[in-house]
Structure 1
Amino acid sequence: MTTQTSLQEDRTIEQFKTEEESTFPWTKQWYPIAVVDFLDSSRPHAMQLLGKDIVLWRDGENKWRCFEDFCPHRLAPLSEGRVESDGTLLCAYHAWRFDGEGKCVRIPQSKDKETEAKHCSNKKSSAIAYPTQEIQGLLWVWPESGDQAQIESQLRKPRIIPEIEENSDRVVKLFWNIRDLPYGWDFFMENVVDPAHVPVSHHGIVGNRYQDAKYYDMLRVREMSTQEGFSFEITPTAPHIAQAVNDFQPPCHMRIVSNFKDGGKLILALYASPTRPGWCRHIGCQVFVKNDAGKTPKGLGFFGLPMPIWLGHVLASLFLHQDAVFLHYQEKTIAKRGKNRWLDAVYTPNPQDKMTIAFRQWLEKRAGGGIPWASECNSELPSAERDKQKLFDVWTTHTQHCQVCQNALKNINRLSVLAYVVAVISFAVGVMVDGRYVAMKVAAMPIQQTTTSFLTVIPPAGFWWALGSAILFGIVGYLLKKFSRLFYVYEFEHAHND
């Protein structure tokens, strides 16, 4: 058995060595699919990868697992099930249970224990499990199952951030952000290999569309390969930057490094996993490397400032939606033209488009032209979403999957209600103070002056303080309620971004 396994591993290694000469193997890769700290470990989570429906859940050994999202019994979704106290995943349809490896361990409707054990030992009763691993706070999934997939997954490393592995005091990693985006994986990558759009699309956050949209060239610094992608240097760069390199590492990673003249370094670690046609899952963060003097380089806009994770997630919409409004419709427009090649559908005369062209060439010549979606997936591109409320949906694409943001939203809603309650109480106290003061004043007046003087009594200072407090807390409650809307939807118009 050991000899057979060794031979199998040798064949797998040889296969990986010759891979550069073949088409990019989409299913033999690690994909980051979730941020572990943002997941609720008490329940299963439905997700998608390469058009496959998958479910993530944490077993009794505190290890996150990934299954295809169906029970082998009657194909009910396991994501609608439960994580039980014994660390098994229960299908809530007929209470079949599965361990972390996908093996069925309980079939309650069996005639007796012997019959149950017989049915559980049948391979057809097992869930389809994919290899997983947790690295740098991300949950990575290998979208193939079986013994061969286990071997192959150990021979390939995920596209991690090497600086974080150094465990140095000079390396500072900011929070992870995660979002499902309403455009395809290829359009995400096409966008992030294009620095020219940044000061224009993100006017007011990163650069100025009228001052910073300047000429520059792009020089190739790593030649194209099937498995390792390619990289380009941007030149000339800003006065304070010595070198800036965009490095595409397929299938999911874009590494953008800015080396500052004072020795500091800014790394934008951007990931995108293809989930289904017209959609991708983005995970990203900023990493700072301090210079010898301990100075931290400037980050990407105000996102480099210290802030709570949930606030960073909310403000991310300001940035992500500025691109989404282009890429969502751009993807549909190019698809409608029906051109065989991307280059035939566009006009790219400037050197700033070199890396975008290189990416499309890699996809066409090295990766089969596009994502090989799962056979059960509807590979048709969804129609363009004209309802901006749905296009800029934040709840479905982020908040409902992020435990950090859900907790923050609950606290903000509680504060909003509390502010309204305090406003009502303050107003009531003001009325009581004023009423008592007026009653005392009137009681001290002659009877013939009572009616006239009642209307001319000026309320005491306590009334005005109470009224002011009521107004202030009412405004706070309103603003908190309005701010909480950003957890659900954030609409954006470039025409209004002055």
Structure 2
Amino acid sequence: MTAIERAIEGSVAAAGGDNPSRFDWREAWYPVAYLRDLPKGQPTPFPLLGEDLVIWWDGQGWRAFADRCPHRLARLSEGRIAGDGLLECPYHGWAFQGDGTCDRIPQQKEEGGAHLSPRACARAYATATGQGMLFVYGGDRERAARVPLPLVEPVGDFEAEPAGWTLFDTFRDVPYDALTLLENVLDPSHLPFTHHRSVGNRSNAGPVELELQTHDRQGFTGFWAEGPRRGKLGSQSTRFVAPCLMWHDLTSKQLGRTLTVVYATPMGKGQCRLFARFPFQFASPIPALFIRLTPRWYSHFGQNGVLEDDQIFLHYQERYLAAAGGSDRFAKAFYLPTRADFFVTALRQWVNDFAGEPFPGAEFPASPPRDVLLERYRSHTQHCRSCREALQNIERLRVGEVALGGAALGGA
């Protein structure tokens, strides 16, 4: 009996649904935000798998609803968290409890019972927290309780920082699909060229002999015996946990143990939210101290630059692949003659064998100008508490400088 079959028969269910030969994108958990970045005092919109959601705090936990009021379909994310902790629609004041039930309809008489109707309920999604992130389940809420969260197993669970590890992370809404992102980060051979002078160097380029170890509906594992920088750092193992998580695991004498973790949360056709996490177990305490002393907003500044190294060509690459027939025809659209592309092939084969693409039949939105593809405020800063507060502080300093300059001129 396979692990999938055991999970289906038992109390734990595998992500992807009950059909062992197909993977349902909706029957899975997806991270939508780091907990530290979510405001408890106001609702937050987020699109998941093409569905507009509203994320909010009801005083007991994080909730996720379809972002439309059952009354007249107004966006609930434009509403407010009322004084009694309910989510209140901005249009007519209908208010909802954390499970989606309607608590009050201001327009009905006191003895009215319209709020008790199932039609008055907001559509609620299952939510859970783990490793400092909020996850939303895209499908059946009852099944969600049996599907484990896609957590990074070596690190263990934590709220702020994992015990025994030093962690820094970032996120960004990128202008390409989740599959394009996963294909990119599963490919170690692009780092010396794409990220030359940021996190790579062309002098480290060379043959990349990847080995695929396991491959099934739930993902795959692989190994790179030589490892990065032409073997200077040691061997590297890779794991893809379907449908949205991958990590590389490397232990070296120089640096200690390093994980490179990426989640790819599908938002809509041609857009996903990237979560990148870097847990370290350093051989020396000095690098850990340096990371802890570095402001989060400052590290995000550099990390966003790394993400922009390949942002433009990934945006267009996936459109060229779609024009050539999509993932179904990747083997003809791509020329993959070396083992460096083994994990790319494994990912595309997983799509073709089990999952299909997350937005079949959907059209890409029009490509925006280059400067829009690279802009940071809407894709990161406005959603990041650390960067948003840093920007506000800078703006306050600028206002203060102008005021001081004006006072100096006035006194001259």
| Fold match by TM threshold 0.5 | yes
Distance in 2, Cα, partners of 1:307 & 1:133: 29
Distance 1:53 1:166, change over 3 A: closer
Q: Are 1:354 and 2:330 an aligned pair?
A: no
Aligned-pair identity in percent equals 33
> How far did 1:297 drift?
7.1
Supply the distance in 1 between the matched residues of 2:267 and 2:259 (Cα, whole angstroms).
25
Give deviations 1:384-404, integer Å, cap 9, x for gaps: 23x122111211111222232
Structure 1, residues 257-296: CA drift from partner, whole Å, max 9, x if none?
Answer: 11113682001111111110000011121101234xx557
> Does 2:30 align with 1:31?
yes
**Partner secondary structure for residue 397 of structure 2:** helix
Q: For 1:172, give the aligned amino acid.
A: T
Q: Could you tell me which runs of 5 or more consecutive residues in structure 1 were left unpaired when the two chains were aligned.
A: 1-8, 433-498
Give yes or no for contact 1:258–1:265 (8 Å, CA) kept in 2: yes
Per-residue displacement from partner, 1:433-488 (whole Å, max 9, x unpaired)?
xxxxxxxxxxxxxxxxxxxxxxxxxxxxxxxxxxxxxxxxxxxxxxxxxxxxxxxx
Aligned: 1:51 with 2:50 = yes
Q: Counterpart amino acid of 1:142?
A: Y
1:132-182 Cα shifts (integer Å, max 9, x gaps): 01111100001125xxx23x21212111123432777531122x3121100
- Give the count of matched residue pairs: 399
Q: Does 1:331 align with 2:318?
A: yes
> 1:266 touches 1:297 (CA, 8 Å); kept in 2?
no
Letter in 1 for 2:334: V
Aligned to 2:77: 79
> What is the distance in 2 between the residues matched to 1:425 and 1:10?
72
Could you report, residue by residue, the CA deviation over 1:4-46 in whole angstroms, capped at 9, with x for unpaired residues? xxxxx98775975994732012111110011111122211111
Cα distance per residue 1:53-98 (max 9 Å; x no partner): 111011122x110000110111111111111111100001010000
Supply the distance in 1 between the matched residues of 2:104 and 2:13 (Cα, whole angstroms): 39
3-state secondary structure, aligned to 1:95: coil
User: Partner residue of 1:171?
Assistant: 165
Query: Counterpart of 1:404?
Result: 386
Alignment match of 1:381 (pick from 364, 375, 391): 364
Equivalents in 2 of 1:392, 1:135: separation in Å?
30
Name the aligned partner's letter for residue 113 of structure 1: E
- CA–CA distance in 1 between the matches of 2:323 and 2:163? 51
1:171 counterpart letter in structure 2: W
- 1:271-420 matched pairs, under 5 angstroms: 271-291=263-283, 294-295=284-285, 306-338=293-325, 340-367=328-355, 369-372=356-359, 379-385=362-368, 387-420=369-402
Q: 1:206 to 1:80 in 2, by over 3 A?
A: same
What is the alpha-carbon distance in structure 1 between the residues aligned to residue 244 and residue 358 of structure 2?
12
Equivalent position SS for 2:310:
helix
Q: Deviations over 1:177-205 (max 9, x none)?
A: 12110000110010011001111111101
| Change over 3 Å in CA distance of 1:144–1:166 after alignment to 2 | closer
Supply the distance in 2 between the matched residues of 1:425 and 1:71 (Cα, whole angstroms).
51
Greater radius of gyration (CA):
1
SS in 1 for 2:364: coil
Q: Which runs of 5+ in 2 are unaligned?
A: 1-6
Q: Which residue of 2 aligns with 1:130?
A: 125
Q: Which has the higher strand share?
A: 2
Q: Distance in 2 between matches of 1:12 and 1:73?
A: 40
Partner of 1:348, secondary structure, is coil
Answer yes or no: is the 8 Å Cα contact 2:29–2:135 preserved in 1: yes
TM-score for both structures, normalised by structure 1: 0.75
Q: 2:215 is matched with which residue?
A: 224
Contact between 2:225 and 2:234, CA under 8 Å: does it hold in 1?
no
Indicate the RMSD between aligned Cα atoms, in angstroms: 2.6
Partner secondary structure for residue 40 of structure 2: coil
What is the CA–CA distance in structure 2 between the aligned matches of 1:263 and 1:399, rounded to whole Å? 31
- Does the 8 Å CA contact 1:260/1:297 hold for their aligned counterparts? no
Tell me the residue number matched to 1:190.
Answer: 183
User: Taking structure 2 as the reference length, what is the TM-score of the superposition?
Assistant: 0.89
Contact conserved, 1:245 with 1:256, CA < 8 A, in 2? yes
Residue aligned with 2:259, SS: strand
Contact 1:289 1:297 in 2 (8 A): no
Distance in 1 between residues matched to 2:225 and 2:19, nearest whole Å: 29
Deviation at 1:212, TM superposition (A): 1.5
Matching residue's letter, 1:88:
L
Query: Equivalences for 1:59-78 in 2 at 5 Å?
Result: 59-61=58-60, 63-78=61-76
Higher helix share: 1
Does the 8 Å contact 2:131/2:157 carry over to 1?
Answer: no
1:249 maps onto 2:241 in alignment: yes
Deviations 1:80-139 (A, max 9, x none): 1111111100001010000000000000100x2221xx2111111000000101111100
Distance in 1 (alpha carbons) for counterparts of 2:13 and 2:144: 13
Question: In the superposition, relative to structure 1, how do residues 359 and 306 fare at CA in structure 2: closer, same or farther (>3 Å)?
Answer: farther
- Write the distance in 1 (CA, Å) between the matches of 2:359 and 2:177: 13
Residue 57 of structure 1 aligns to a residue in which SS?
Answer: strand
1:235 matched to 2:225: yes
